[in-house]
Every structure is written in structure tokens, then in C-alpha cells.
Structure 1
Amino acid sequence: MEEDQSQNDVKHPPGFGEDLKEVRLGRKLTQEHVATGTGFSRTYVSKVESGSVFPSDKFASKCDLVFGTHGMFERLRRRIVESDHPSWFAPVVQMEREATRILDFSATLVMGLLQTEDYARAIFRSANPRASEEVIEAKVAARLRRREVFEREDPPELWVLITESCLRCQVGSADIMKAQIGHLITCTDSPYINMQVLPLSAGAPNGAMESFTLLTFDNAPTRLYSDGPAGGSVYESPQVVRSNVSSYDRLRAHALSLNASLDFMEKLLKEPNS
């Protein structure tokens, strides 16, 4: 039986689990039947139904096969994922799931796909000081779920350029930053993740030095996502995309090599205030 270890037992919106249980009972099936049909454990099925685990893409598609629901559970899961994010960012989450290559430039904060739970929580708490704990935890859980793209059979190649100032900007506490940098170092063990540090000594090779992400696909044009003060935007204009590809190339040329970047982050961890 397959067991999804990608999620912590964080309470998630009950929609998927409630619908799964309703369909299962309507067909007079047990959780064991669903487990056998999907290839997941009965414990996993139980946790999905209770809302303590959010279902993986694979589990949703297997449920559609078991119940003959023609993509209903996949569509339900997609709607829940999209509702977890601002309307302007939901398309980016979908694009991450379909991209073959993701090129990211992180100027001020570590990109969402590589954030630790505590780092993400500190960001959301700072941006939403009056929000309830439930709201903050829902935002954190949604951000962590974006990591699922690396659990695909063919995960995208992720190339990250991250500024030294981003690594030195204390988010939350010194311990949170230490854990975040340690997580970035661990991420470089993946054959799908490359990371380069743009040191302060490189100056500003990209002028404004604003964060942006380029996403490439097998059967669709490359798209650009860029942050803004009122939310991010997705651009498809070939001219705009080409301009940012050139900017990314210039930034990469000024960044440390892959090995030197890893050495830089390891040394940063050893600094007294890291």
C-alpha cells in the first residue's frame, strides 16, 4: 500500500474528505475497499476523510478510477487548491504543477516552493497581524502543499537565483532563518533543484532587482510571473518574456557557481548571528 508522507497532519478544508465519504457510503464500500482500489493505506483514506491529510494528485485520480467519477475528484481537489490562494496567484499554482522548468529570482524572500513551515508562518503572521491562528495555519498548509510538484513522476527542474540579502534578512527569528538556510542546503541534494547565490558584491546587474519567475512547458509558451504591491501578475507577451529571460541570464552570470553558492550558504550557517 502506498502512503503519502509529504503532508503533516494539519487540518485541511473538509470538502474533499466529506465528498469522498459520501460517495463511498453511497456505493456501500468500506475504507478498506477504497484503500485496495487506490493502492493507498486504509489509514491514509481515513485521514483524508477526516480532513487531517490533504489528498495527493495521485490519490484523487485513483478515486476517480475506483468510483468511475470521470475526473470529479481531480476537479474537486483542484478547486480546493485554487481557493487556498489569492485569485491572482491561483493560476501560478496550476502552472507550477504543469511546468517542465521553473526559473526563479528571489530578491527579498525565499520562494514559496522552498520555504520551511516556520518561515512561511512568520511571513504570513507579519503580513496578516490581525488574522486568526486558523487563517494563518490554512495559509501555511496551502503553501507547503505546493511542494507536491516535486513528487511527480517527472518533476520540473527548478533553478533558483537567490540574493545574499534575502538570506541575511531575518524572517521570524535567528533560529527560523538558520533552519531555512539549512533547508535550502538540503534541497540542493535533489537532482531537480539548482541554486545560485547572488552576492552583495555583484551590485545590481538587473537594475530594479525585483523578484520574478519564469515557467516553461512542453506544449505551451513560457510564462512570466512577477510580484507587485497589490499582488502578482502573469505575463504571456513574447516580448516581455524574452526581456526577463535576458535579465535572468545576466543575473545568473553575476551569481556564484553552484558549488560556491553551496559553500556560501554553509559558511553563512556558521556565522554567529545566523
Structure 2
Amino acid sequence: MRNRQNDGDDLRGSPVARKFGEDIKQVRLARKLTQKQLGNGTGYSEGYVSRAEAGIRLPSERFAAGCDKVFGTGSLFAEQLRRLLQGDRVPEWFVPYTDLEARADRILDYSPAFPIGILQTPEYAEAVFRTGPLAARGEDISPPLAARVARRKLLDKEDAPLLWVVITESCLRTPVGPASVMRGQLEHLAEMADHPRVTIQVLPHRAGATPSTVPFTLLRAESKWSAYCEFPHDGRTYEGDQVVAECIDLYDLIRARALSPEESVPYIQEISEVYQ
């Protein structure tokens, strides 16, 4: 698996990278500069400028600062990039979860609707956001999308957490975006099942009614377990022993009814063929 060097690598080809590249191109053309001239002014090659403007990659901070210098835009692009990489990109109620996720050494997730965020491809994540409440309210989905995509690097760390995921068959069969997006997502799940720190199980339709229709995640950080449950309008993190114990018992029940990890991968691959 490719090691990512920074959050910008996680955003390769994403809508965020494309929008940033479009902004650079718009100002460059307004200044009547060629890509080669911008490259010379920033210390990068013409090819690098071309890839940045096309959104194939999110540029480096040095390149963004160089653009500001060449364009005379103060710190406009440097600040825009900083916000994309480090700014507030998640709602306040989700911050406790992302903090736990970043520190956890064990993550147990149950997903009845969508795979957990760190297992979503950028294209699938974008399609999820485009059908969600932010898009319905006309809000910009780029910041939270960037945050979700950036979380994928968690599994590239040397001390990556052990991730155990149970997904329902509905996660695999419910169309999200065009067929190519679904195919890419299912192929990604099958690929991630080979990750030494990831275990994926599928809860098939034939298992009957699901023990829970609400997604929840159990996380262990500093030897202490917490539970996170998500609702239509927000999510909540629980640390009380009783709630956590009940979630652990429920997770064990769900896991016991699911296909084994060895059975789950070919099951995912079989369903992916529907989207060929």
C-alpha cells in the first residue's frame, strides 16, 4: 500500500484539489502568465503546474506560497491551502470522535448504511455528501469531504489501529453515485480486507433482521473504551461503562451473525460484479 506523505496526497484527484487548481488557473490567466512562467516563478516544473491546475494533486504549501508571491495575492492561496489541510473541516459535535479515532489502537465499527469514513473512496465519499443534508441546504461540502478523505491516512501509519468492521449487505447493494463509483468502493473494500490491520465482515440479508439499525463505533484509546453513535442530525460519544458494555455486547451479537472474514471478501467481490 502506498505511503502518503501528507494530507495533500490523500486529496489527489478530489473535488477539493480540483477546485484549488481551478482557482490557481483563473488567477494565472488573469495575470496573463503561462504555466511555464508560473513554474519558473514558484520553482516548480511546468508539468507540476499543469497537474496542480487539473486537480490531479493538491499542491505543496511552498507552491501555494510561491503562487501568492508571483500573483501578488498576499497569503490568499497559502491560507486557502492551510484551511484545507488543517482548518475546521468537521462539525463541533464530531470533533470528539475524530480525536478518539486518531488516538485509538482498536476500532470496532458497525455500518448498516455506509462503510466507515476511513474506508470510503474519495468518489464514494463525495457521492455520500452530495445526497446529505449539507448539500440539501446548499452548503459547501468541500471542507468535510476533505476531512473524511484525509482520515484515510490513519491506516497508513506504522502504529495503525486494529480496525474491525461489520457492514450490512445493504451497504454493498444500495447505489451511491454512478456504477463506477460503487464498483470502485467495493473493490477498495476487498483490497482493504488484505490490510494486516483490517478485518471486514458482511452481515448478509439472509441473516434476517439486523440487531441494530443505528451505526455505532467502539474505540479503545489509552486502554479505555468509548462508544460513538450517529443520528440524522449529529452524533454523540459515550464513555459510561454501562453504555459501552451494552454496545460491546451488541457488537459481539452482530459479529457472530455475520459471514466470516474469509467468506466476506468473495461476497463483496461477487456483488461488485453487478456494477461492471
Return the TM-score normalized by structure 2: 0.70
The structural deviation recorded for 1:11 is 4.5
Alignment map for 1:253-272 (pairs within 5 Å): 253-271=256-274
In the TM superposition, residue 241 of structure 1 has moved relative to its aligned partner by 0.2
Shift of residue 170, structure 1, vs aligned partner: 0.6
Q: Which amino acid aligns with 1:90?
A: V
SS in 2 for 1:234: strand
Partner of 1:117: 122
For residues 57-102 of structure 1, the C-alpha deviation after alignment (integer angstroms, 9 at most, x for no partner) is xxxxxxxxxxxxxxxxxxxx89975711010101111111100010
Q: Give, in whole Å, the separation in 1 of the partners of 2:266 and 2:148.
A: 28
Match of 1:36?
A: none
Distance 1:81 1:255 in 2: 38
The answer (yes or no) to whether the contact 2:84–2:146 under 8 Å persists in 1 is no
Asked whether the 8 Å contact 1:110–1:162 carries over to 2, the reply is yes
Q: Which amino acid aligns with 2:168?
A: T
- For residues 124 and 248 of structure 1, the distance between their equivalents in structure 2, rounded to whole angstroms, comes to 27
1:186 to 182, 185, 191: 191
Once structures 1 and 2 are overlaid, which stretch shifts more, 220-229 or 162-171?
Answer: 220-229
Q: Which amino acid aligns with 1:229?
A: P
Name the structure 2 match of 1:245. 248
Distance (Å, rounded) in 2 between the aligned partners of 1:154 and 1:171: 32
- Distance in 2, Cα, partners of 1:102 & 1:51: 36
Task: Check whether the contact 2:169–2:205 (CA below 8 A) recurs between aligned residues.
Answer: yes
Q: Residue 12 of structure 2 aligns to which amino acid in structure 1?
A: N
Equivalent residues of 2:94, 2:235 under 8 A apart: yes
Aligned-residue identity in percent: 37
Give 1:131's match in structure 2, choosing from 134, 138, 145: 138
Q: RMSD between aligned alpha carbons? A: 3.0
The 3-state SS of whatever aligns with 2:141 is helix
Q: CA deviation at 1:184?
A: 0.5
Name the CA shift for 1:6/1:125 in 2 (closer, same or farther; >3 Å): closer
Opposite residue 228 of structure 1, the aligned amino acid is F
Cα offsets for 1:143-163 (capped at 9, x unmatched): 110112112220001000000
Deviation track 1:149-186 (CA, whole Å, cap 9, x = no partner) reads 11222000100000001111111122211111011011
- Give the unaligned 5+ runs of structure 1: 15-30, 33-43, 53-76
Could you tell me how far 1:264 is from its partner in structure 2? Answer: 0.3
TM-score in terms of structure 1 length? 0.71
Query: Would the alpha carbon gap of residues 130 and 49 (structure 1) be closer, same or farther in structure 2, given more than 3 Å must change?
Result: farther
Matching residue of 1:144: 149
Partner of 1:170 in structure 2?
175
Residue matched to 2:219: 215
Question: Aligned partner of 1:163: which letter?
Answer: T
Amino acid at match of 1:223: S
C-alpha displacement of 1:251: 0.4
Secondary structure in 2 matching 1:83: coil
- Counterpart of 1:131, as a letter, is G
Separation of aligned partners in 2, 1:51 and 1:237: 45
**Number of paired residues?**
216
Unaligned runs of 5+ in 2: 21-41, 44-56, 66-81
**CA distance, structure 1, for counterparts of residue 215 and residue 105 of structure 2:** 20
Decide whether aligned partners of structure 1 residues 122 and 7 sit closer, same or farther in structure 2, where only a CA change above 3 A counts: closer
Cα distance in 1, alignment partners of residues 87 and 158 from structure 2: 22
Q: Is this contact kept in 1: 2:90–2:143, CA < 8 A? A: no
Cα deviations by residue, 1:242-273 (Å, 9 ceiling, x for unpaired): 000000000000000011000101111223x5
